[in-house]
Chain A
Amino acid sequence: MAFAKVAIVLLIVFLPILSQAQQPILEQTVALNVSRVTLEEAINQLSEQTGLSFSYNPGKVPVDKLVTIQANQSPLRKVLEELTRQSSTEFEFVEGQVILRAAKKGTSKSSNYTFSGYVKDEASGEALIGATVFVEDLKVGTVTNSYGYFSLTLPPGTYQLMFSFVGFANVSESLELGVSSNRVIYLKENSPLLQEIVVEARSPTLLEENLMSKANLKPIDIEQKPALFGEWDAVKSLESQQGVKMHSDGSTYYYVRGGDRDQNLIMIDDAPIYNPSHLLGFFSTIIPDAVNDIDFYRGAMPASLGGRLSSVMDVRTKRGNDKNLSIWGNVGLISTKLGIEGPFKKNKSSYLVSGRLSRIKWIFKESAPDIEKFRFSDLTGKANFTLNDKNRLFLSFYTGSDSYLTSTGGIEWTNNAATIGWNNVISSRLFLNTTVAASAYDYFLSVDPATNTRWNSHISNFNLKANFSYFIDPQQDLSFGASLNGYNFNPGNIASDGTNAGPITSVRNSGEAILFANHDVKINQRWGVNYGLRLSSWTNQGEAFEFIFDDNRNAIDTLYFEQGDRYKNYVRLEPRFTVSHFLQKNTTLKASYSRNVQNIHFISNSISPFTSLEVWLPSSINIKPQLSDQVSLGYQQFFDKVGLTFETEFYYKRMQNQIDYEPHAETLLNPLIESEMRFGETTSYGLETQLRKENGRLKGSVGYTYSRAQRRFKEINNGKAYNAFFDRPNQINMTLNYDLTLRWSLSLNYIYYTGAPFSSPVSFYKVNGLEVPIYGEKNNDRLPDYHRLDVAATLKLNKRTENRFKHELTVSLYNLYNRENIIFENYNKVQDGEEFKVKSNLLDNTQVPTQFYLFGLIPSLSYSFKWL
C-alpha cells in the first residue's frame, strides 16, 4: 500500500513533466512518403527517422494493413494520427515510446465530422453531376450525385480539398474541419485554350468508381459530333458507345449487349420515355440543349435502377440558370429550337423552357398537297426551388408529338412525362430524393378523321420513389429506398368519337413494388466493392380478360377479372455485384455480376428500323418476366502522361423468357396475341475495347468490339440456335474532335458494323402467280456491312469569347463517302421507270432482286446561339 502511495505521488509530480516532454517529440517534423506499404514498414521508417521505439502486440494490431501517406515536414503527431486512422488503431506516447493498440469500437467514428454541399457551375448555378471532391491529404474523395450533392465524413483537422469536373477549372480549398459544415462550391468553365492543357494527374472518375459498364455523356460531347441534318441527338450518339448497336440509318432503335430493343430504358428525370423517336426514327426526342447529364449503364447498374434487361439511359435535364436570364436556340434544315432559362429568385429558384418544332411540311407542299399535318415537336420545362438549406423542389415535364395526317387519315404518336422531385438533406450524411413521376405514350393510326376513328395503343405509368443516400464515410456509402409503380396497357384497339364497342384486345393494369439497397465500399486503397439487391413484386390487376391456351396454342378458356382483382404475381430478386481492384496506380481490374428483370414487353415482329404500330404488354399469365444474368470482367488503365484511358470489358449474358413470334404473327387487333408468341433464350458475349481522351485540343475515342448474340427457341428454326438480328460481330467506332483555332473546331465520326443477319431465300415456288420465297435456316444470311464517316466543322462567329451573346455555325457532312448502307433486300419487285414496284400483272415475270438504302451523303448547315 505504501509503495502504491509513493507511486501515485511520483506520478502526480512527474506526469505534467512527462506530458510536456512528449509534446516536443510529437511536434517534431518528419517526412514519410509511402504508398500502399504495410503499417509495420511505415512504423519502421518512422522509428528510424525519430529514434523512437514503437510497442505493439502483432496479434492485435493489424501490422499487415496497407497504408499510404504523403507527409513532408509534417508533425509526427499528425503522421501518427493519419497512420492510425488508416489502420484502425490508436496510439499513445508513454515513457519515450509509442504504444500502438487496436482502436476501440466506435471511437474513431464518433469524433468525425461531415463536410457536405453542392458543386455548381459558377455561370449558371447548374448542378455539376459527377464532379469530384478529393481530399489531398488523405487521398480519398467522392463524387457528386445526380443533384450535385456530396458528403464527406472525416476526422477533425485541416484538409486541402480539390473540386474538379471535366471542362471546368479545378478549385482547391482549405477546410478546417472542427464541426460539420456545408458549402456550395462553384466551378468555372475553362476558357477555350489552344495550347495543350495540362493533363490531369488523377485518373478519370469512372476508373475509381466501383462500377463498370457505365458511360457518362455530356451535352457538349454530343454537340461536338457531326449529326444528320445538323440535328444533335442524344440517342443516336449512343452509336459511339461500346456494346451498343444501332438498328440502321433512320432509326432510334438500339441493341445493347445482345439484348432486344425493348430492353433499354430511357428516363428523363426519372420518368420513362417509351418511344424516343421523331419522324419514324430519323431523330430522337432527346436533344442535348436541355440536358445536363446522361449516365448510360449497359451492365451492372445500381440497384435503384432497373426494369429493363440491357441498359438504362438516365437523362438529367438542366435545372435552369439561377443567376441570369439566358436564351439559346438553333436553326437547322429540319427544325428550330429555342430555350429560355433564368432565375425566379437569384440563387434560389430557376426555370427552364425549351422547345423544338419541325419545319419540313413546306418540302412536300408541292409534291404532296393533300398532307395537312407533317410535323414533330418537343417541349421541355423545369422549375427548381431552393426552399432552404436542406430542401429543394423541382418540377419537370416533357411532351413530344409527331403528326403526319391528311384529310383521310394518318399516323400520330405522343410521349408525355412529368416529374415532381424533392431533395431533402435529412442530415449532412443522409440525403433523400423523392420523386413522383408519370409517363404516357400513345400511338394512333387515324382511319377516319371525320369521326375521329383511330387505332390506338397506349402505355402509361405512375411512379413514386424514395431514394436515400447515406454517406457513411469517404470509403463507403449506402443507398436504399422503395418504389411503387402503376401501369396501364392498351395493346391496340379501335376507338372513335361515336359509340365504341368493348376492346378487342384486353386492356391491362399492373402494379409493381420495389425495394432496393446498394452498398459501395472502398475496402482499402486497392479493393472496392459495390453490391446491391433489388426486390420487385409485379402484380396484374383487373379489369381484364386473359386466355388459357393448350399445348397447341388453342384458346381453351377465357378468364375475366373484375376491376381491382389481383390475379397474377411475380416476385423476383435482382442481385448486383461489382468488385474493383487497383493493380497499380491508375490501373484497375473489375468484375461484376448482375441479374435484371423486365416485366413490360414490346410486342412486334417488325424488322423495320422505323417506329411502327407499337404495342406493349405486361408480364402476366401467358408472358413470364424476362430475366438476364450477366457477368463482366473489365480492365481500365489511365495513362496520365498523355491523358488517355484504355478500357476493355468482356461480358457474357444469358437472357431467359425472350420473346419471338410464330411465322407471320398477327400482332395487331388480335385478342389471342399471346398465342402468336414463342419463348426462348438468348446468349450473348463480347469483348469491348476503347481508347479515350477527354481533355486537350484533340478529344475523342476509338473502340473495337467483337460480340455475338444467339437465340434458341424450341419452336423456331427447328430448335436450333440462330443469330439474333443484332448479332453483328465486328464493330469499330471512332469519334474525334479537334480545336483547330480558338474559333474553328473540327469533328469526325466513323462507325463500322458487320451486316445484320436476315433470312434470305434458298429457293422459290409459285402460288396463284406469286413467286414465294422459301427460307432455310433463320437468319442464314447477312446484309452488307454497315459503315459511315461523318465530318463537321464549327465556326464560332464571335471574335471575343467574353461576349454574352455567342453564336456559331456548323457545317456537317453525314455519310461523307456516300456509302449505300442497305436496310432491306427484296426479291419481289419489277422495274417501273426508275423505281422498283411490286408487279400487278401476275403474268409479268421480270422480278429482280433489289436493295434499299436510306441516306447517301447528306450535307447540312445549322446556326446556334446563346445569350448568357
Chain B
Amino acid sequence: MTVRSTIALIIAALLLMRCEEQFVAELNVTDLDLIVVDGILTNENLNHRIKVTRPHTELGGTGIPVSGAVLEIYEGDTKKFTVTEFPVGSGEYFTEQMRAVVGEVYTLRMFYGGKVFFAQNVSTPVEPLETIQYSQSAASPDLFRIELNESGRDPNFISHIISWQGTQSCQVNEACGGVIVHYDLKTADANELFKPDKKEFLIPAGAIVVRKKYSVNPSYRSFLRGVLSETEWRGGVFDIQRDNASSNLSAGAIGFFAVSTVVSDTTIIQ
C-alpha cells in the first residue's frame, strides 16, 4: 500500500459521513475574449499539432476553433518552420515535419486579430520508460488495470493510448479505446497527496497500449502543476485556493506551448 493510498484510506474513514452529489451549476459565465493554445513539440519526427481555440462555457464542451491565425515556429534565432491550419476552420495547426532537439529554444509566434502572441520553451532529456505494470482485476479476471507509479527522478508524464479495436471485447458502436495520462511532477503538495479517487478504467485482454513518456521542464511543470491542481487534484479534502494555471504565452493568451522529449513503447495486454 502506497503512502497515498494509505492517506486516502484514512481520509475516507475519517469522512465516512461525507456526501457528494450532482447539482445544477449556474456559472457566472463571462464573455472572455481569450485565446487558448495547446501545443507540444517533441523529438519525434512528425507534424506536430498546435491547437488554438477559445474557451467553452459548458462542462464537457469543446473549445471554439480559432481559425485563420498565422503561426510560426523558430528553432533558435534563425531556423523557421512553417505551420498550417488543417483542415481549414478546425483551429488545429500542424508544423512541417520536424524534430525538436534537446536544449534548443523554440519560439512560437502567432498573429491573430491584430495581436502578436509569443511563447518560448526548451526541451529537457527524458529518462527511459520502465516496464509497464498491469494487473488483473479481482472482480473481472478478463479485465486489467494499468498500474501507475512514480518513475525516474525527473518530472515527467506518461501518456497511455489504449485500443482494443479489433479484439473480441470490442462491441459494435462502442468506443474501444481510451487515454490515460499519469503525471509524476515530483512535487510535494497537500492537494496532490490527498487528491480524490479516480474512476477505475479497466481494459480487456488483447488491448494495445502505446506509452509515451514526456520530459517536463520547469516552466512546463509549473503549468502542469496548476492544471492538475484545478483538475485531477481538485475535489479532495485538502483543496487549495482556486486559480488560473500559469501560461508561457504573452498578450493574455492562456494554455501552454511546450517542448518535450519523448520515449515510447507498445504493449499488448495479455
**Interfacial residues, chain A to chain B (CB-CB below 8 A):** 279-280, 282, 363-364, 367-368, 370-371, 374, 404-411, 445-447, 455, 605-608, 610, 612-613, 661, 663-670, 758-776, 778, 780-781, 820, 824-832, 835-856, 858
Contact = CB atoms under 8 A, between A and B. Distances in A.
A771 B60 contact: yes
Contact of B234 (A605, A826, A846): A826
Interface of B: 1-3, 6-7, 9-10, 12-25, 27-30, 32, 34, 36, 38, 53, 55-63, 157, 159, 175, 177-181, 187-191, 193-201, 222, 225-232, 234-235, 237-246, 254-256
Given A668-B188, A836-B22, A842-B179, A407 B1 contact: yes
12 contacts: A371-B13, A406-B10, A408-B3, A446-B3, A664-B243, A758-B242, A763-B29, A763-B30, A775-B244, A840-B199, A840-B200, A850-B20
Nearest 9 A/B pairs, CB to CB: A663-B243, A763-B55, A849-B25, A840-B201, A841-B178, A826-B235, A409-B3, A837-B199, A759-B242
B217 to A, nearest CB: 15
B86 to A, nearest CB: 19
Contacts of B246: 663-664
Contact of A374 (B2, B13, B193, B237): B13
A767 B256 contact: yes
A782 B221 CA distance: 31
Contacts of B226: 663-664
B29 A854 contact: no
A764 B56 contact: yes
A447 B29 CA distance: 42
A408 B246 CA distance: 35
Nearest to A367: B13
A610 B175 CA distance: 40
B59 A848 contact: yes
Contacts of A856: 17, 19
Contacts, number: 272
Given A767-B256, A768-B181, 4 more contacts: A664-B246, A666-B189, A769-B179, A827-B59
B23 A851 contact: yes
B6 A408 contact: yes
A765 B55 contact: yes
B38 A767 contact: yes
A762 B194 CA distance: 26
Contacts of A761: 27
B100 to A, nearest CB: 17
A625 B195 CA distance: 33
A774 B244 contact: yes
A770 B231 contact: yes
B177 A843 contact: yes
Contacts of A828: 230-232, 234-235
Given A404-B10, A762-B29, A765-B55, A849 B243 contact: no
Contacts of B237: 280, 608, 610
A371 B24 contact: no
B23 A850 contact: yes
Given A761-B27, A841-B180, A610 B188 contact: no
Contacts of A767: 38, 227, 255-256
A831 B239 CA distance: 20
Contact of B20 (A363, A665, A670, A836): A836
A224 to B, nearest CB: 25
Contacts of A837: 196-199
Contacts of A771: 59-60, 231
B198 A664 contact: no
Contacts of B38: 765-768
A776 B53 contact: no
A231 to B, nearest CB: 14
A858 B18 CA distance: 12
Contact of B9 (A363, A371, A820, A846): A371
B244 A824 contact: no
A838 B57 CA distance: 20
B32 A669 contact: no
A35 to B, nearest CB: 58
A606 B7 contact: no
Contacts of A374: 10, 13
B199 A664 contact: no
A606 B240 contact: yes
A765 B36 contact: yes
Contacts of A775: 242-244
